[in-house]
Amino acid sequence: MAATVRVPTPLRSFTGGAEEVKVEGSNVQEIVDNLEANHNGIKDRLCDETGKIRRFLNVYVNDEDIRFLENEKTAVNDGDTVSIVPAIAGGKA
């Protein structure tokens, strides 16, 4: 099952500048593992030492936040879009 992964600008150096890449996997964890297999080093930026998605990253499968689904076990189907969105903080109101 191939999904389209949308890669944020700070991580595009791992994907050769590509904004989107096709990745096989039946859940988010498999997507991350296969993303690492094709783009060495990216997993360290996405996951902590326990393999969980880093808390300052938001990951969506078809616009659904995986934190409100099954986190890394969230299912990914053929043709789905997985978006990696770094959290934005700071500034002055």
Per DSSP (E only), the strands in 1-93 are 2-6, 20-24, 57-61, 64-65, 81-86
> Residue 60: its pLDDT value, please?
98
Give the other-Cβ count within 10 Å of 13's Cβ.
13
Give every residue of the chain whose pLDDT is below 70, as ranges. Answer: 1, 90-91, 93
Q: pTM value? A: 0.91
**What is the architecture of the domain spanning 2-86?**
Roll (3.10)
Residue 51 · residue 45 · CB < 8 Å: no
**Per-residue pLDDT, 34:** 97
